[in-house]
Amino acid sequence: MLATARLKDQLLSKSSGAKNLFFFVLFVAVVVVYMVHLSKRPLYNSDMLPYMGVVLQLNGLDAKQVHQSVYAITKESVPAKNFVELTALNKGRVERYNDYALFYDYLRFFRLKPLYVFVIKAFYSVGINLAFATVLPSLICAGGLLIAFYLAIQKLFTGGIIPFFLSTVVLLLGFTNELAVISTPDAMSSLLVFILFLNLFFSGKLGVSYLLLALAVFTRIDNLTFLPFILYYYRMNNINIRSIIKGVSALAVLSIIVIVVPYFFGNHLTWFKDFIFKPSVYASLVRKSATLMRTDFNLLFALVLVLLYSRLSVRKDLKTLFTGILLAMSVRFLLFPSYEERFYYIFKLMLLFIAVAPFSYNLTTSKTLVMVPRGRRIQGSAPGYSFSN
Protein backbone atom coordinates (compact mmCIF):
# COMPACT_ATOMS: atom_id res chain seq x y z
CA MET A 1 0.00 0.00 0.00
CA LEU A 2 2.81 2.39 0.94
CA ALA A 3 4.66 1.68 -2.31
CA THR A 4 1.45 2.24 -4.27
CA ALA A 5 0.86 5.56 -2.50
CA ARG A 6 4.41 6.69 -3.23
CA LEU A 7 4.08 5.73 -6.88
CA LYS A 8 0.82 7.66 -7.09
CA ASP A 9 2.46 10.73 -5.53
CA GLN A 10 5.35 10.50 -8.01
CA LEU A 11 2.97 10.26 -10.95
CA LEU A 12 0.95 13.22 -9.68
CA SER A 13 4.14 15.22 -9.17
CA LYS A 14 5.33 14.47 -12.70
CA SER A 15 1.91 15.33 -14.09
CA SER A 16 1.87 18.62 -12.19
CA GLY A 17 5.41 19.42 -13.35
CA ALA A 18 4.52 18.72 -16.97
CA LYS A 19 1.41 20.91 -16.69
CA ASN A 20 3.41 23.77 -15.16
CA LEU A 21 6.04 23.50 -17.89
CA PHE A 22 3.35 23.49 -20.59
CA PHE A 23 1.69 26.67 -19.29
CA PHE A 24 5.05 28.38 -18.80
CA VAL A 25 6.24 27.58 -22.33
CA LEU A 26 2.85 28.66 -23.68
CA PHE A 27 3.04 31.99 -21.84
CA VAL A 28 6.63 32.63 -22.99
CA ALA A 29 5.49 31.95 -26.57
CA VAL A 30 2.61 34.41 -26.14
CA VAL A 31 5.01 37.04 -24.76
CA VAL A 32 7.48 36.56 -27.63
CA VAL A 33 4.74 36.86 -30.26
CA TYR A 34 3.32 39.92 -28.51
CA MET A 35 6.73 41.63 -28.30
CA VAL A 36 7.40 40.90 -31.98
CA HIS A 37 4.02 42.50 -32.72
CA LEU A 38 4.90 45.57 -30.64
CA SER A 39 8.35 45.83 -32.24
CA LYS A 40 6.64 46.84 -35.49
CA ARG A 41 5.07 49.84 -33.75
CA PRO A 42 7.85 51.73 -31.94
CA LEU A 43 6.91 55.15 -30.59
CA TYR A 44 9.94 56.98 -32.03
CA ASN A 45 9.89 59.31 -29.03
CA SER A 46 12.25 62.26 -28.91
CA ASP A 47 14.55 60.67 -26.29
CA MET A 48 15.71 58.29 -29.02
CA LEU A 49 17.85 61.01 -30.63
CA PRO A 50 20.02 61.99 -27.64
CA TYR A 51 20.56 58.35 -26.63
CA MET A 52 21.79 57.69 -30.17
CA GLY A 53 24.02 60.73 -29.78
CA VAL A 54 25.58 59.47 -26.54
CA VAL A 55 26.39 56.12 -28.17
CA LEU A 56 28.01 57.80 -31.18
CA GLN A 57 29.95 60.08 -28.86
CA LEU A 58 31.31 57.00 -27.06
CA ASN A 59 32.41 55.72 -30.47
CA GLY A 60 34.69 58.75 -30.82
CA LEU A 61 32.68 61.11 -33.03
CA ASP A 62 32.93 64.85 -32.39
CA ALA A 63 29.92 67.10 -31.76
CA LYS A 64 29.28 67.94 -35.41
CA GLN A 65 29.67 64.33 -36.56
CA VAL A 66 27.35 63.12 -33.79
CA HIS A 67 24.67 65.58 -34.87
CA GLN A 68 24.94 64.73 -38.56
CA SER A 69 24.98 60.97 -37.96
CA VAL A 70 22.04 60.96 -35.55
CA TYR A 71 19.70 62.78 -37.91
CA ALA A 72 20.94 60.92 -41.00
CA ILE A 73 20.34 57.53 -39.35
CA THR A 74 16.98 58.67 -38.03
CA LYS A 75 15.84 59.92 -41.43
CA GLU A 76 16.66 56.54 -42.96
CA SER A 77 15.11 54.54 -40.11
CA VAL A 78 11.74 56.12 -39.33
CA PRO A 79 8.69 57.04 -41.45
CA ALA A 80 8.70 60.56 -42.90
CA LYS A 81 5.84 61.64 -40.65
CA ASN A 82 7.75 60.61 -37.52
CA PHE A 83 10.92 62.33 -38.72
CA VAL A 84 9.01 65.59 -39.11
CA GLU A 85 7.65 65.21 -35.57
CA LEU A 86 11.14 64.53 -34.21
CA THR A 87 12.61 67.61 -35.88
CA ALA A 88 9.83 70.18 -36.13
CA LEU A 89 7.11 69.48 -33.55
CA ASN A 90 8.19 72.28 -31.21
CA LYS A 91 10.77 75.02 -30.84
CA GLY A 92 13.26 72.89 -28.92
CA ARG A 93 13.31 70.14 -31.54
CA VAL A 94 13.73 72.65 -34.36
CA GLU A 95 16.65 74.34 -32.59
CA ARG A 96 18.43 71.06 -31.84
CA TYR A 97 17.93 69.92 -35.44
CA ASN A 98 19.50 73.11 -36.81
CA ASP A 99 22.26 73.64 -34.23
CA TYR A 100 24.73 70.81 -33.57
CA ALA A 101 26.24 72.57 -30.54
CA LEU A 102 22.82 72.90 -28.91
CA PHE A 103 22.06 69.24 -29.62
CA TYR A 104 25.41 68.14 -28.19
CA ASP A 105 24.83 70.18 -25.04
CA TYR A 106 21.41 68.53 -24.68
CA LEU A 107 23.14 65.14 -24.35
CA ARG A 108 24.12 65.97 -20.76
CA PHE A 109 20.63 64.96 -19.62
CA PHE A 110 21.06 61.48 -21.15
CA ARG A 111 24.55 60.50 -20.01
CA LEU A 112 23.16 59.47 -16.62
CA LYS A 113 21.92 55.99 -17.56
CA PRO A 114 25.14 54.08 -18.35
CA LEU A 115 23.66 50.57 -18.17
CA TYR A 116 20.98 51.38 -20.76
CA VAL A 117 23.47 53.26 -22.96
CA PHE A 118 25.99 50.40 -22.95
CA VAL A 119 23.29 47.88 -23.88
CA ILE A 120 22.35 50.08 -26.86
CA LYS A 121 26.03 50.36 -27.76
CA ALA A 122 26.40 46.57 -27.59
CA PHE A 123 23.48 46.04 -29.97
CA TYR A 124 24.79 48.73 -32.33
CA SER A 125 28.27 47.19 -32.32
CA VAL A 126 26.91 43.89 -33.68
CA GLY A 127 25.22 45.60 -36.61
CA ILE A 128 21.74 46.42 -35.33
CA ASN A 129 20.32 49.69 -36.63
CA LEU A 130 21.06 52.38 -34.04
CA ALA A 131 17.49 53.73 -33.93
CA PHE A 132 16.06 50.24 -33.34
CA ALA A 133 18.87 49.49 -30.87
CA THR A 134 17.35 52.12 -28.55
CA VAL A 135 14.02 50.23 -28.56
CA LEU A 136 15.33 46.65 -28.43
CA PRO A 137 16.35 46.76 -24.72
CA SER A 138 12.83 47.95 -23.91
CA LEU A 139 11.23 45.10 -25.84
CA ILE A 140 13.44 42.50 -24.16
CA CYS A 141 13.00 43.90 -20.64
CA ALA A 142 9.23 44.39 -21.02
CA GLY A 143 8.95 40.74 -22.04
CA GLY A 144 11.24 39.80 -19.15
CA LEU A 145 9.02 41.74 -16.76
CA LEU A 146 5.96 39.74 -17.81
CA ILE A 147 7.85 36.45 -17.48
CA ALA A 148 9.19 37.46 -14.05
CA PHE A 149 5.62 38.23 -12.94
CA TYR A 150 4.49 34.81 -14.21
CA LEU A 151 7.27 32.97 -12.33
CA ALA A 152 6.51 34.88 -9.13
CA ILE A 153 2.80 34.07 -9.33
CA GLN A 154 3.68 30.45 -10.11
CA LYS A 155 5.72 30.32 -6.93
CA LEU A 156 2.78 31.69 -4.95
CA PHE A 157 0.25 29.25 -6.34
CA THR A 158 2.60 26.30 -7.02
CA GLY A 159 1.77 26.35 -10.72
CA GLY A 160 -1.41 25.41 -12.53
CA ILE A 161 -3.66 27.62 -14.61
CA ILE A 162 -3.72 30.56 -12.16
CA PRO A 163 -0.26 32.00 -13.07
CA PHE A 164 -1.09 31.79 -16.77
CA PHE A 165 -4.46 33.46 -16.28
CA LEU A 166 -3.23 36.31 -14.05
CA SER A 167 -0.14 37.01 -16.17
CA THR A 168 -2.23 37.06 -19.34
CA VAL A 169 -4.57 39.56 -17.68
CA VAL A 170 -1.57 41.78 -16.87
CA LEU A 171 -0.42 41.51 -20.49
CA LEU A 172 -3.90 42.44 -21.77
CA LEU A 173 -4.16 45.36 -19.34
CA GLY A 174 -1.24 46.86 -21.25
CA PHE A 175 1.09 47.43 -18.29
CA THR A 176 4.08 46.85 -20.55
CA ASN A 177 2.83 48.22 -23.89
CA GLU A 178 4.36 51.68 -23.63
CA LEU A 179 7.45 50.40 -21.83
CA ALA A 180 8.16 47.97 -24.68
CA VAL A 181 8.12 50.46 -27.56
CA ILE A 182 9.73 53.55 -26.09
CA SER A 183 13.39 54.56 -26.41
CA THR A 184 14.01 55.07 -22.70
CA PRO A 185 15.51 52.96 -19.88
CA ASP A 186 12.14 52.62 -18.14
CA ALA A 187 11.51 48.97 -19.08
CA MET A 188 15.01 47.96 -17.96
CA SER A 189 14.57 49.95 -14.76
CA SER A 190 11.15 48.37 -14.10
CA LEU A 191 12.53 44.85 -14.57
CA LEU A 192 15.39 45.43 -12.12
CA VAL A 193 13.11 47.06 -9.55
CA PHE A 194 10.59 44.21 -9.81
CA ILE A 195 13.34 41.62 -9.27
CA LEU A 196 14.47 43.68 -6.27
CA PHE A 197 10.90 43.59 -4.94
CA LEU A 198 10.67 39.81 -5.46
CA ASN A 199 13.96 39.36 -3.59
CA LEU A 200 12.45 41.21 -0.63
CA PHE A 201 9.23 39.23 -0.87
CA PHE A 202 10.69 35.73 -1.16
CA SER A 203 14.09 35.84 0.52
CA GLY A 204 14.97 39.25 1.93
CA LYS A 205 18.72 38.94 1.24
CA LEU A 206 20.22 42.33 2.04
CA GLY A 207 23.31 42.04 -0.18
CA VAL A 208 21.22 41.05 -3.20
CA SER A 209 18.87 43.97 -2.53
CA TYR A 210 21.71 46.49 -2.61
CA LEU A 211 23.25 44.93 -5.72
CA LEU A 212 19.93 45.12 -7.58
CA LEU A 213 19.43 48.68 -6.38
CA ALA A 214 22.88 49.61 -7.70
CA LEU A 215 22.05 48.17 -11.13
CA ALA A 216 18.69 49.96 -11.09
CA VAL A 217 20.37 53.25 -10.21
CA PHE A 218 22.79 52.90 -13.13
CA THR A 219 19.70 52.46 -15.29
CA ARG A 220 17.80 55.42 -13.84
CA ILE A 221 19.39 57.73 -11.28
CA ASP A 222 16.00 58.40 -9.65
CA ASN A 223 15.81 54.75 -8.56
CA LEU A 224 17.70 55.95 -5.49
CA THR A 225 14.19 56.75 -4.25
CA PHE A 226 13.79 53.02 -3.57
CA LEU A 227 16.37 53.32 -0.77
CA PRO A 228 13.68 54.33 1.78
CA PHE A 229 11.65 51.31 0.65
CA ILE A 230 14.54 48.93 1.34
CA LEU A 231 15.50 50.55 4.66
CA TYR A 232 11.88 50.58 5.83
CA TYR A 233 11.50 46.89 4.98
CA TYR A 234 14.61 45.78 6.86
CA ARG A 235 14.00 48.10 9.80
CA MET A 236 10.48 46.69 10.23
CA ASN A 237 11.95 43.19 10.17
CA ASN A 238 14.39 44.08 12.96
CA ILE A 239 17.62 43.83 11.03
CA ASN A 240 20.73 44.73 12.99
CA ILE A 241 21.26 48.50 12.74
CA ARG A 242 24.94 47.84 11.93
CA SER A 243 23.89 46.15 8.69
CA ILE A 244 21.76 49.15 7.78
CA ILE A 245 24.67 51.52 8.44
CA LYS A 246 26.91 49.42 6.21
CA GLY A 247 24.26 49.46 3.51
CA VAL A 248 23.78 53.22 3.74
CA SER A 249 27.56 53.70 3.58
CA ALA A 250 27.74 51.53 0.49
CA LEU A 251 24.95 53.53 -1.11
CA ALA A 252 26.73 56.78 -0.24
CA VAL A 253 29.71 55.48 -2.20
CA LEU A 254 27.34 54.46 -4.99
CA SER A 255 25.87 57.96 -5.05
CA ILE A 256 29.34 59.45 -5.45
CA ILE A 257 30.08 57.03 -8.28
CA VAL A 258 26.78 57.94 -9.93
CA ILE A 259 27.81 61.60 -9.84
CA VAL A 260 31.31 60.89 -11.18
CA VAL A 261 30.44 58.42 -13.98
CA PRO A 262 28.66 61.01 -16.19
CA TYR A 263 31.83 63.11 -15.98
CA PHE A 264 33.66 60.46 -18.01
CA PHE A 265 30.81 60.60 -20.54
CA GLY A 266 31.41 64.32 -21.06
CA ASN A 267 29.31 65.93 -18.30
CA HIS A 268 30.57 68.34 -15.66
CA LEU A 269 30.71 67.17 -12.03
CA THR A 270 27.86 69.48 -11.04
CA TRP A 271 25.45 68.02 -13.63
CA PHE A 272 22.87 67.29 -10.94
CA LYS A 273 22.17 71.03 -10.62
CA ASP A 274 20.49 70.85 -14.05
CA PHE A 275 17.81 68.64 -12.49
CA ILE A 276 16.84 71.01 -9.69
CA PHE A 277 13.41 72.46 -10.48
CA LYS A 278 12.68 76.15 -10.15
CA PRO A 279 9.68 76.71 -7.83
CA SER A 280 7.48 77.87 -10.71
CA VAL A 281 8.36 74.81 -12.83
CA TYR A 282 7.82 72.49 -9.85
CA ALA A 283 4.39 74.00 -9.17
CA SER A 284 3.45 73.70 -12.85
CA LEU A 285 4.43 70.01 -12.90
CA VAL A 286 2.38 69.33 -9.77
CA ARG A 287 -0.69 70.98 -11.32
CA LYS A 288 -0.31 69.01 -14.56
CA SER A 289 0.22 65.77 -12.64
CA ALA A 290 -2.85 66.43 -10.50
CA THR A 291 -4.88 66.81 -13.69
CA LEU A 292 -3.55 63.50 -15.02
CA MET A 293 -4.36 61.76 -11.75
CA ARG A 294 -7.99 62.88 -11.84
CA THR A 295 -9.03 60.09 -14.15
CA ASP A 296 -11.54 57.35 -13.48
CA PHE A 297 -8.77 54.74 -13.62
CA ASN A 298 -6.60 56.45 -11.02
CA LEU A 299 -9.55 57.11 -8.72
CA LEU A 300 -10.48 53.44 -9.00
CA PHE A 301 -6.87 52.50 -8.34
CA ALA A 302 -6.85 54.68 -5.20
CA LEU A 303 -10.04 52.98 -3.98
CA VAL A 304 -8.47 49.56 -4.53
CA LEU A 305 -5.44 50.67 -2.48
CA VAL A 306 -7.66 51.66 0.44
CA LEU A 307 -9.50 48.33 0.35
CA LEU A 308 -6.23 46.44 -0.05
CA TYR A 309 -4.66 48.19 2.93
CA SER A 310 -7.56 47.20 5.17
CA ARG A 311 -7.18 43.57 4.03
CA LEU A 312 -3.44 43.58 4.70
CA SER A 313 -3.85 45.06 8.18
CA VAL A 314 -3.92 41.55 9.63
CA ARG A 315 -0.63 40.55 7.95
CA LYS A 316 2.39 42.55 9.05
CA ASP A 317 4.71 41.11 6.37
CA LEU A 318 2.57 42.16 3.39
CA LYS A 319 1.60 45.42 5.03
CA THR A 320 5.29 46.28 5.42
CA LEU A 321 5.94 45.77 1.71
CA PHE A 322 2.77 47.66 0.80
CA THR A 323 3.69 50.64 2.97
CA GLY A 324 7.25 50.60 1.64
CA ILE A 325 6.02 50.80 -1.96
CA LEU A 326 3.77 53.75 -1.13
CA LEU A 327 6.74 55.39 0.60
CA ALA A 328 8.91 54.95 -2.50
CA MET A 329 6.12 56.34 -4.71
CA SER A 330 5.74 59.38 -2.46
CA VAL A 331 9.46 60.15 -2.32
CA ARG A 332 9.75 59.82 -6.07
CA PHE A 333 6.83 62.15 -6.71
CA LEU A 334 8.07 64.76 -4.24
CA LEU A 335 11.49 64.84 -5.91
CA PHE A 336 10.26 64.44 -9.50
CA PRO A 337 6.63 65.61 -9.65
CA SER A 338 5.89 64.20 -13.07
CA TYR A 339 3.02 61.75 -13.35
CA GLU A 340 3.91 60.04 -16.60
CA GLU A 341 2.49 56.53 -16.64
CA ARG A 342 5.81 54.95 -17.65
CA PHE A 343 7.29 55.97 -14.28
CA TYR A 344 4.51 54.30 -12.29
CA TYR A 345 3.72 51.05 -14.09
CA ILE A 346 6.18 49.21 -11.88
CA PHE A 347 4.52 50.48 -8.69
CA LYS A 348 1.13 49.30 -9.93
CA LEU A 349 2.56 45.91 -10.86
CA MET A 350 4.10 45.43 -7.40
CA LEU A 351 0.86 46.48 -5.71
CA LEU A 352 -1.09 44.10 -7.94
CA PHE A 353 1.22 41.27 -6.89
CA ILE A 354 0.69 42.10 -3.22
CA ALA A 355 -3.07 42.22 -3.82
CA VAL A 356 -2.96 38.68 -5.21
CA ALA A 357 -0.61 37.26 -2.55
CA PRO A 358 -3.11 36.89 0.34
CA PHE A 359 -5.39 34.76 -1.79
CA SER A 360 -2.63 32.21 -2.30
CA TYR A 361 -2.93 31.25 1.36
CA ASN A 362 -6.55 30.24 0.73
CA LEU A 363 -6.32 28.75 -2.76
CA THR A 364 -3.24 26.61 -2.28
CA THR A 365 -4.01 23.45 -0.34
CA SER A 366 -0.74 21.53 -0.47
CA LYS A 367 1.57 24.36 0.52
CA THR A 368 1.22 27.89 1.80
CA LEU A 369 3.52 30.85 1.90
CA VAL A 370 4.16 32.05 5.42
CA MET A 371 6.75 34.25 7.08
CA VAL A 372 8.85 31.86 9.17
CA PRO A 373 12.13 32.20 11.07
CA ARG A 374 15.03 30.47 9.37
CA GLY A 375 16.86 29.36 12.45
CA ARG A 376 19.63 31.66 13.54
CA ARG A 377 19.38 34.71 11.34
CA ILE A 378 22.48 35.58 9.34
CA GLN A 379 23.57 39.17 9.80
CA GLY A 380 22.56 41.21 6.79
CA SER A 381 19.55 39.14 5.78
CA ALA A 382 15.89 39.38 6.70
CA PRO A 383 13.41 36.65 7.48
CA GLY A 384 11.69 35.92 4.20
CA TYR A 385 8.91 33.87 2.71
CA SER A 386 9.38 30.12 2.75
CA PHE A 387 7.27 27.23 1.61
CA SER A 388 5.85 25.41 4.61
CA ASN A 389 3.54 22.37 4.72
Q: Tens of pLDDT along 323-365? A: 778 888 887 878 777 767 788 889 888 888 888 887 775 444 3
Report the pLDDT value the prediction gives residue 194, as an integer from 0 to 100.
95
Stretch 10-24: mean pLDDT: 71
Q: Are 12 and 149 in contact (CB under 8 A)?
A: no
pTM of the model: 0.81
Task: Between 295 and 43, name the one with better pLDDT.
Answer: 43
Give 119-170 as a DSSP string. Answer: HHHHHHHTT--HHHHTTHHHHHHHHHHHHHHHHHHHHHHTSSHHHHHHHHHH
- For the stretch 56-90, pLDDT in tens is 999 999 999 999 999 999 999 999 999 999 999 88
Measure Cα distances from 212 to 18, 191, 193, 249, 342 in Å: 32, 10, 7, 16, 20
Would you say residue 140 has pLDDT above 70?
yes
pLDDT band at 201 (very low <50, low <70, confident <90, very high): confident
In this predicted structure, which of 39-48, 236-245, 289-298 has the lowest mean pLDDT?
A: 289-298
Q: What is the 3-state secondary structure (H, E, C) of 204-244?
A: CEHHHHHHHHHHHHCCCHHHHHHHHHHHHHHHHCCCCHHHH
No. of H helices and E strands in the chain?
19, 2
* Predicted local confidence at residue 20, as pLDDT: 87
2-11, 91-100, 236-245: lowest mean pLDDT where? Answer: 2-11
pLDDT at 372 over 80: no
- pLDDT at position 25, please? 94
- Residue 381 has what pLDDT? 38
Mean pLDDT of the region 13-42 = 88
Residue 137 has pLDDT above 90, yes or no: yes
Q: What pLDDT does residue 210 have?
A: 81
Length of the chain equals: 389
pLDDT of residue 99: 93
- Across residues 193-220, what is the average pLDDT? 86
Out of 98-107, 139-148, 369-378, which region has the weakest mean confidence (pLDDT)?
Answer: 369-378
Q: Spell out the SS3 assignment of 333-346.
A: HHHCCCCCHHHHHH
Which pLDDT value is given to residue 247? 66
What pLDDT was estimated at residue 112?
82
pLDDT number for residue 53 = 96
Mean pLDDT over residues 298-325, rounded?
A: 67
What is the residue-averaged pLDDT of the chain? 79
Provide the 3-class DSSP secondary structure of residue 386: strand
SS3 (DSSP) at 296: helix
Residues 192 and 219: beta-carbon distance below 8 Å: yes
Selection from 40-54, 193-207, 375-389 with the highest mean pLDDT: 40-54
